[in-house]
Amino acid sequence: MIVLSGTIGAGKTSLTELLANHLGSQAFYESVDDNPILPLFYENPKKYGFLLQIYFLNKRLEQIKRAQENQLNVLDRSIFEDSLLFKLNADLGRATQTEVTIYDSLVNNMMMELPTTVSKDPELLIHVRVSFDTMLQRIKKRGRAFEQIENDASLYRYYEELNQRYDHWFENYDRSEKMQIDGDRFDFVESEEARHNVIDMIDTKLSEIRQK
């Protein structure tokens, strides 16, 4: 199992599709466009923040079990970074620390309940790192109304803080092998050459892992 990580607009969905096609495996995508809670969360984060996290947790655990049925299936977000997003919401007053503590405890307990035949950790985590400017451009380009700063000025601070926190999160991630891709330098969303470069880097990393 391979998992992607990165901030909003990093290109995780695009790379998930590209990588799954390259490996001949299955892609699993985060529930966004069909997520009934997400628009409610953007309207009222304090009310719906905890419910949104539980919704994502349920979906991710289901995907982990399905993804482990075949080798090298690709998930477009890691379950381990959800706590990062929820803690940020708490720090910004959009959730409570008590909710964060309960959520983290629930994640740990539910991960322990996964069948022993299912690996709880991926073979590789790939973090797509993009600058704040690129992040904002991608969010605007994909046009989801509830994500736009023009509709909610407070999102600017949220996006800025989220982008900054990912560096620390990736540095401390230790659940599996990991690699980082510079999404500004290698714009695989738009550039065919960048797509080939990124695939070559991932193939090299997977080869190194298998030789250990």
Residue 124 makes CB contacts below 8 A (sequence gap 6+) with: 2, 3, 176, 177, 178, 179, 202, 205, 206, 209
List pLDDT tens digits, range 87-121. Answer: 998 998 889 999 999 999 999 888 887 765 556 78
* Lowest-confidence pick of 74-83, 108-117, 125-134, 203-212: 108-117
pLDDT at 186 over 90: yes
Alpha-carbon gap, residue 183 to 2, rounded angstroms: 18
Q: Tell me, yes or no, if 76 is annotated catalytic.
A: yes
| Strand 74-75 with 124-129, pairing | unpaired
* Binding region for ATP: 6-14, 138-142
Catalytic residue among 76, 133, 182, 203: 76
* Binding region: 6-14, 30, 42, 53, 77, 82, 138-142, 147
Tell whether pTM > 0.85: yes
Tell me, what CATH number does 106's domain have? 3.40.50.300
Q: What is the pLDDT of residue 32?
A: 77
- Share above pLDDT 90 across residues of the chain, in percent, rounded to a whole number: 61
**To the nearest whole number, what is the mean pLDDT of the chain?**
90
* Binding region for substrate: 30, 42, 53, 77, 82, 147
Number of domains forming the structure of the chain: 1
Residue type present at position 160: E
Name which residue leads in pLDDT, 67 or 207.
Answer: 207
**Which domain covers residue 123, as residue numbers?**
2-210
| Strand 2-5 with 124-129, pairing | parallel
What does the CA dihedral 38, 43, 46, 47 come to, rounded to 10 degrees?
-70
List pLDDT tens digits, range 60-80. Answer: 888 888 888 888 899 999 888
